[in-house]
């Protein structure tokens, strides 16, 4: 996913834009660029290059740009290879307008053909370039923002854009549809960005643009309207993250920092959801009336990747505690299914970023069927949260590492709390039972801290197995999703083929894989399916599989079967996914580091998949 930064103020824009791009590096990119209005010669200066931002920095060092209005971009190639000519910003034929763009223009070929017929000269293979030539086409005697609106109305697809023009040097224009864009409100300066970290070092006051909204900024004001020119009034939101939260805080990688933040995040999340006076569970932003929740006949969970695994755990919890039939689907399947859902369905959308294209498309489908929608999300004001009926923020702080860790356990915790809340609303379980569950859940942060004290031991075990060519992860019941999550963590940052499986499926195929060249991670905490897991481990042992077990402290059985054991504290089975995942996260991390992989920005991956 690409990154956008824009600046208009009284300071030199170049260093501000470059520092903003660096804070967006985690989103993944393969080229970057910057464009400034050059006041002295009434022109636009553009510098752009494939590769990391350090390449762009060298370029601007050798050929600096001076100006106080500009836009910048990190590009993740979708149309056209990551080359200098395809990097953003893109300019019009006359070099008087510059545009940066996140998203995909689905009808760009037809538009490009028509523009070429109209005499426009294209330089790149990108879809983005049609935008700047369309603006050029309309920008005749009307304000820039009107020309931009006319151009955007012709686009099919998604966009977040930043635009500057020589003719109106004291103006910065931004607009969005299907891709996030925020305004940073400063003192005598204003910013555009695709995500909060880019501007957090300059201001904590932000405004979130909604679908089909356009903003005109000068250094002291901003004006938002829809694409038909109708004014839209918005207040600013104060971001309570500090810039250092978006830094590594002394850890080697964001991922390791975020793994270690989990106890603190879960503790504050649990405490913030329990009303001190009554002990009842409360969700400030959950706006679905309790009467409506009482009528819910079924639940459908929609998510991708790690969020999907959190949803799989939630299915066990919701059906067990709330006795509501719960289905789950990956968003990319849900959105194209012939859905049997309606007003009696509660759709729970889980998304760390709140910008995942398939999940957004899924809830829009659900909305068309008059379902109630609750989103479990980490990013304040993200698109998903503004299109849901209710929101449960997980308040995990910025998750920079592409591999999701703290967001996963925070999503799980929010889902446990929501299940207690729903059971409370539906009168399924008593207050005493809820208190018992809350007491058990409240032990999790402390237990996680105990597990994190084993990091060195886990690192040694991980490095010892880092040469193996493939891994199999096995779990049962509420830890079957834990097996899938463990496999995803490993494969996405170490590039080792890894598969998660329901352990009960072993005889239906996977047991053929077992030999001494493969590690099998067996998730076997104390549970009603523990004996079954032991049987699986015995089957693997007899075939010389390399067994790594996650077991409960004090387990005497497992140590007869393998020496490679990571122990987790004893907890009620339903909560064990919150514990067993930490060793899985740390194993993946240390194996990837041992293999020299780019842990925070793994190849081919972006932090948020905002396109299909
Ligand atoms: C998880 O480690 C991956 N980065 C990826 O699967 C991610 O969980 C998925 O893309 C969903 O993202 P979201 O939670 O922002 O919607």
State which of 306, 354, 581 you would mutate to test the pocket of ligand 1, scoring each by most atoms of that ligand within 8 A of its C-beta. 306
Separation between Cα atoms, residue 35 and residue 7, nearest integer Å: 11
What does the pLDDT read at residue 607? 85
Separation between Cα atoms, residue 463 and residue 345, nearest integer Å: 46
> Helix crossing, 129-138 with 108-117: angle to 10°?
50
57 Cβ closer than 6 Å to some ligand 1 atom: no
607 is catalytic: yes
In sequence order, the 6+-apart residues with CB closer than 8 A to the CB of 453 are: none
255 Cβ closer than 6 Å to some ligand 1 atom: no
List pLDDT tens digits, range 469-521: 999 999 999 999 999 999 999 999 999 999 999 999 999 999 999 998 899 99
How many CB atoms within 10 Å of residue 268?
A: 14
In this structure, are residues 37 and 44 in contact, taking their beta carbons and an 8 Å threshold? yes
Query: What is the β-pairing status of strands 345-351 and 298-303?
Result: parallel
Residue from 25, 20, 21, 378 nearest 199 by CA:
20
353 Cβ closer than 6 Å to some ligand 1 atom: yes
What does the pLDDT read at residue 397? 80
What does the pLDDT read at residue 17? 97
Separation between Cα atoms, residue 413 and residue 406, nearest integer Å: 11
What does the pLDDT read at residue 40? 83
Separation between Cα atoms, residue 224 and residue 425, nearest integer Å: 40
Low-confidence ranges of the chain (pLDDT < 70): 1, 26-28, 78, 244-249
Task: Please state, in angstroms and as integers, the Cα–Cα distance from residue 338 to each residue in 335, 365, 505, following that order.
Answer: 9, 10, 29
How many CB atoms within 10 Å of residue 292?
A: 16
304 Cβ closer than 6 Å to some ligand 1 atom: yes
What order of strands is seen across the sheet that includes strand 205-208?
43-50, 31-38, 69-75, 3-8, 190-193, 182-185, 205-208, 237-238
597 is catalytic: no
Relative to the CA of 488, which ligand 1 atom is closest? Answer: 2
Rounded to two decimals, the pTM is 0.76
For ligand 1, the distance from its centroid to the CA atom of residue 134, given in whole angstroms, is: 34
In this structure, are residues 405 and 262 in contact, taking their beta carbons and an 8 Å threshold? yes
| Longest alpha-carbon distance in the chain | 82
Separation between Cα atoms, residue 313 and residue 308, nearest integer Å: 9
Relative to the CA of 407, which ligand 1 atom is closest? Answer: 14
| DSSP summary character for residue 603 | T
Separation between Cα atoms, residue 197 and residue 419, nearest integer Å: 32
Task: Please state, in angstroms and as integers, the Cα–Cα distance from residue 211 to each residue in 384, 406, 459, following that order.
Answer: 11, 29, 45
Relative to the CA of 405, which ligand 1 atom is closest? Answer: 2
Which element (helix H / strand E) includes 393? strand 390-393
How many CB atoms within 10 Å of residue 495?
A: 14
User: H/E/C letters for each residue in 320-347?
Assistant: HHHCCCEEEEEHHHHCCCCCCCCCCEEE
What does the pLDDT read at residue 184? 97
Q: Which of 48, 315, 406, 607 is catalytic?
A: 607
What does the pLDDT read at residue 445? 97
Which element (helix H / strand E) includes 262? helix 262-272
């Amino acid at each position: 996913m690409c990154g956008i930064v824009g600046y208009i103020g009284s300071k030199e824009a170049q260093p501000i834009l470059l520092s903003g791009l660096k804070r967006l590096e985690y989103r993944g990119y393969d080229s970057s660029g910057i464009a400034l209005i050059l006041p002295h010669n009434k022109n636009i200066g553009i510098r752009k290059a494939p590769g990391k931002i350090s390449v762009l920095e060298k370029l601007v060092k050798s050929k600096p740009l001076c100006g106080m209005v500009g836009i910048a971009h990190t590009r993740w190639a979708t149309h056209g290879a990551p080359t200098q000519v395809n990097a953003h910003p893109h300019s019009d034929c006359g070099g008087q307008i510059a545009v940066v763009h996140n998203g995909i223009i689905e009808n760009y070929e037809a538009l490009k053909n028509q523009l070429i017929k109209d005499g426009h000269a294209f330089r790149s293979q990108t879809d983005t370039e049609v935008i700047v030539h369309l603006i050029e086409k309309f920008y005749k005697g009307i304000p820039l923002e009107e020309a931009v609106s006319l151009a955007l109305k012709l686009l099919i697809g998604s966009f977040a854009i930043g635009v500057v023009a020589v003719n109106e040097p004291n103006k910065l224009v931004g607009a969005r549809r299907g891709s996030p864009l925020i305004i940073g409100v400063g003192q005598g300066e204003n910013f555009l960005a695709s995500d909060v970290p880019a501007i957090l070092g300059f201001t904590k006051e932000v405004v979130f643009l909604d679908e089909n909204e356009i903003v005109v900024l000068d250094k002291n004001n901003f004006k938002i309207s829809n694409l038909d020119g109708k004014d839209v009034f918005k207040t600013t939101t104060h971001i309570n993250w500090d810039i250092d939260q978006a830094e590594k805080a002394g850890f080697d990688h964001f991922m390791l920092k975020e793994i270690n933040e989990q106890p603190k995040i879960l503790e504050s999340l649990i405490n913030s959801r329990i009303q001190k006076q009554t002990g009842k569970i409360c969700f400030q932003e959950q706006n679905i009336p309790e009467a409506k929740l009482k009528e819910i006949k079924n639940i459908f969970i929609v998510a991708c990747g790690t969020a999907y695994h959190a949803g799989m755990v939630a299915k066990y919890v919701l059906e067990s505690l709330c006795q509501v039939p719960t289905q789950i689907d990956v968003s990319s399947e849900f959105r194209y299914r012939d859905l049997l859902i309606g007003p009696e369905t509660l759709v729970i959308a889980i998304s760390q970023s709140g910008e995942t294209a398939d999940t957004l498309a899924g809830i829009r489908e659900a909305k068309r069927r008059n379902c109630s929608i609750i989103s479990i999300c980490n990013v304040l004001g993200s698109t998903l949260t503004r299109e849901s009926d209710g929101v449960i923020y997980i308040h995990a702080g910025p998750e920079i590492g592409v591999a999701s860790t703290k967001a996963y356990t925070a999503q799980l915790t929010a889902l446990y709390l929501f299940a207690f809340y729903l059971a409370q609303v539906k009168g399924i379980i008593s207050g005493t039972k809820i208190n018992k569950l809350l007491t058990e859940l409240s032990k999790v942060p402390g237990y996680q801290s105990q597990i994190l004290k084993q990091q060195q031991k886990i690192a040694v075990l991980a490095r010892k197995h880092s040469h193996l060519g493939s891994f199999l992860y096995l779990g049962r019941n509420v830890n079957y999703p834990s097996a899938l999550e463990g496999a995803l963590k490993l494969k996405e940052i170490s590039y080792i083929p890894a598969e998660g499986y329901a352990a009960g499926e072993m005889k239906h195929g996977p047991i053929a894989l077992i030999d001494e060249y493969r590690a099998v991670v067996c998730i076997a905490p104390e549970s009603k399916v523990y004996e079954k897991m032991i049987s699986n481990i015995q089957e693997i042992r007899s075939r010389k599989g390399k067994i790594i077990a996650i077991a409960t402290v004090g387990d005497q059985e497992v140590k007869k079967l393998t020496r490679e054991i990571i122990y987790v504290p004893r907890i009620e089975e339903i909560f064990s996914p919150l514990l067993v995942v930490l060793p899985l996260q740390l194993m993946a991390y240390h194996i990837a580091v041992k293999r020299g992989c780019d842990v925070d920005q793994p190849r081919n991956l972006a932090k948020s998949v905002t396109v299909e």
